[in-house]
Chain A
Amino acid sequence: MNKARPGFAAIRNGSALPWRDVPASSLAAFQDGLASAMNDELRLCALFALRRGGDADPRLFAVLADDARGELLLGTAAVEGPTFPALTQRCPQAHLFEREIHEQYGLRPEGHPWLKPVRFERPMHADPRTTPPPAIGAAEFYKIAGEAIHEVAVGPVHAGVIEPGHFRFQCHGEHVFHLEISLGYQHRGVEAALREGPGRTSLHLIETLAGDTSVGHALAFGMNLEGLAGLRVGGHAHVVRAIALELERLANHTGDLGALSGDVGFLPTAAFCGRIRGDFLNLSALLCGNRFGRSLVRPGGVRFCIDAAMAGQMREKLQAARRDVTTAVELLWMTPSVVARFEDTGVVSGETGVLLGLVGPAARACGLELDVRADHATGAYCFVQQPTATGHNGDVYARAFVRWLEIQRSLDFVEELLEMMPEPCAVVSGGEVALPGDHVAVSLVEGWRGELCHVASTRGDGRFDRYKVVDASFHNWPGLAVAMRNQQISDFPLCNKSFNLSYCGHDL
């Protein structure tokens, strides 16, 4: 037990603990512990309910990140009865988590200021044949009254090739007072389907949680299984994994910078980046045959290696891509009309970022220096470090510029790794992994959008009784809503793209 944090056990990223070593507190002590941790600048990575075999009542489980010490703190508390006092007023970071606990387990957080559905899913243990899901989108939306106030409703089907979601703006002319985001349209029942796993579909459900973050989520899943089963991952596999994760970041960041310039009508960078993003995706395909990195990461290692010839080919293509992306993106910062549109648009302050628990480039853009690759490093990130890129203003400009810094650092990092490529390369081609019973494992991965948190809990026979996924988008959607306050509604596409959040990663 961590002496500084009674009621919580400390582990390293990607390791497992027997359930009996996870301290069980009274609910009041558990919540006090979380509140005091927030005061000490720890972060809430996950807070969810589960029911283990033999539990009379469902229990809450929390993962806290102590970034300064590089530790993850785990604690649990039983909830007796159908209600519990909400923590959200004391810790706004708990806001969406407590709504999810209510939706998935029927436990009502009393006093929660914003208790609405998260993704309009059935309760976790309901029989799908007899229990229909709640009617999607049927919620009390926040409303502002007044003669000149009007409401704008957008979605679920949007105007472009985008995932579905619903947005409700309260406007006075062009001015947006409030944006409410209502999701759940992409809910495919992934967490429910992962129970009883791991099985032959598990890894595929993980790889398609959020298709643009296939490598990130597969890596988090792999780390959990490795932590539970005590599997050793070779040096070559660690390097291949890190390269693949950075290629995913490079492709998406480049695409985002192109899309941001498209949204302000600056077509040169939009056109270039659309193509260069493809160059990075094609590098992933060179590595594993799939542009999204599917079938690359396997529990215990990787399915594909990088030999000397491929390393050479990748270096050559990366150099060309670096040249192209530099030319394309530098156009942005040199064009005053672009900079003027980016600056002071969609500002989120650092204080708000902390309260909401933002992660990834959106958090770093408001000056919060947090990055799993540095704070909770695993694999190749323990040996080669990238400086954490931060911005100051928390506006669209900062979110764009942080991406550009990360592109450059990521390119340096991949080029350095391609020089090392430790031998030997051993390919892991799947097969069942036997897991110990009654354990819990936690992994964090810095996906391109930010922190991905996976929690795997096994019952006595080593099967999952709960597999919890927290995508970066889950933390960051409220950030977009806040960024839109007092903006013009015409700035919504720009603000939205500057976060570029995942609907399916949120909806699961």
Chain B
Amino acid sequence: MRYPAAAPPPLPERFRGRPLVDAGKCKAGCRVCAEACPTTAIEVGEVAGRNEVRIDLGRCLFCTDCSDACPEGAISYSGDHRLSASRREDLVVAAGEELQLAKALDDRLRRLFGRSLQLRQVSAGGCNACEADVNVLTTVGWDLGRFGIQVVASPRHADGILVTGCISENMVLALQKTWAAVPPPKIVIAVGACAISGGPFRGNPQQLGGVLGAGLPVDLFVAGCPPHPLTILDGLLRMLGRLEKEGRVGGVEPPVRR
């Protein structure tokens, strides 16, 4: 795979990337999408007599419930796979707004991790789909190692942790111990709706609603349920400042849909 030097692999036509709301079609006072959303990711406000729809990509399961429910056909999914952010609040996007994609780490961390990043993966109360698509990045096709990013077996050997899952009560202690065992400076990456917000398990008393709920600081959020391997790779490369250079296809254009 030549990405990011060339275009990323094409995604299927039915692929659901970033959701888009056509504000022109949205009818004032209608709240059907917000009521249909399984994770209350959609908030409908009112500005000057018109609806203002905000979608929290950190809660979004990228299912079809809102787009199917909308009587005006105002909600659709784009083929844009880029869904990562540096701050939790950046994932809440209003109709027509651009998503503020993840920024690179500060200069000091980039100097340390930019060409060699060792990650310990912690799975804590998910469904194993995020884990599966993180694993895919280490296969020969995606070859994560070419970016100097590796998954290591011990937190002592790691520069940070990559967390998946809603953080079940039964995994909090193990997560915190793993985090404590990583020597500083260190980073946290939250992959998937569960790790960002609890995902479909949001509100269940048996979980903490994601990594922030467990009291860990998060440096990178990657949205999706689960995020496509390309989405995860995009987030990692953005965090390391490796998609910013002009002329790099992956940095400036969304992929083609076939």
Contacts and interface: CB of A to CB of B under 8 A. Distances in A.
Interface residues of B, number: 62
Q: Which of B134, B138, B201 has the most CB of A within 10 A?
A: B201
Contacts of A208: 126-127, 129, 194, 199-201, 225
A274 B132 contact: no
B129 A157 contact: no
A190 B140 CA distance: 35
Contact of B38 (A128, A164, A201, A304): A201
A434 B169 CA distance: 34
B104 interface: no
Given A164-B171, A274-B140, A289-B15, A502 B128 contact: yes
Given A129-B205, A189-B206, A214 B129 contact: yes
Contact of B139 (A190, A274, A290): A274
Contacts of A162: 123, 131
B197 interface: no
B139 A187 contact: no
Interface string A487-508: 0000000000000001110010
B204 A189 contact: yes
Interface string A426-439: 00011000000000
B125 A200 contact: no
Q: Which of A211, A271, A274, A282 has the most CB of B within 10 A?
A: A211
A278 interface: yes
A430 B171 CA distance: 34
A430 B16 contact: no
Interface string A295-330: 100000001100000000000000000000000000
Interface string B187-211: 0000000100001110111110000
Contacts of A189: 201, 204-207
Size band of the interface chain A makes with B: 35 or more
A275 interface: yes
Contact of A211 (B68, B126, B166, B228): B126
Interface in A336-370: none
Contacts of A133: 169-170, 206
Interface in A166-209: 184-190, 192-193, 200-201, 203-205, 207-209
A289 B129 CA distance: 15
B170 A120 contact: yes
Given A133-B206, A290-B62, A303-B64, A188 B132 contact: no
Contacts of A465: none
Contacts, number: 176
A193 B199 CA distance: 13
A87 interface: no
A190 B132 CA distance: 21
Contacts of A185: 124-125, 168, 170-171, 174
Contacts of B61: 204, 294
A228 interface: no
B123 A164 contact: yes
B192 to A, nearest CB: 10
A291 interface: yes
A28 interface: no
B141 interface: yes
A292 B63 contact: no
Contact of A157 (B36, B122, B138): B122
Contacts of B185: none
Contacts of B118: none
Contacts of B68: 303, 429-430
Nearest to B14: A289
Nearest to B121: A161
B225 A156 contact: no
Interface of B: 11-12, 14-16, 35-39, 61-65, 68-69, 77, 121-136, 138-141, 151, 153-154, 165-166, 168-171, 173-174, 178, 194, 199-201, 203-207, 225-226, 228
Interface of A: 119-122, 128-129, 133, 136, 156-157, 159-164, 184-190, 192-193, 200-201, 203-205, 207-212, 214, 271, 274-275, 278, 282, 285-292, 294-295, 303-304, 429-430, 502-504, 507
Given A161-B138, A289-B12, A292-B132, 16 more contacts: A156-B174, A160-B151, A160-B153, A164-B124, A184-B170, A185-B168, A186-B165, A187-B206, A188-B125, A193-B203, A204-B63, A208-B201, A211-B132, A289-B15, A290-B62, A430-B64
Shortest beta-carbon contacts, A-B, top 3: A211-B129, A211-B127, A189-B206
12 contacts: A160-B153, A164-B171, A185-B125, A185-B171, A200-B36, A203-B38, A210-B127, A210-B128, A214-B129, A282-B12, A285-B12, A504-B125
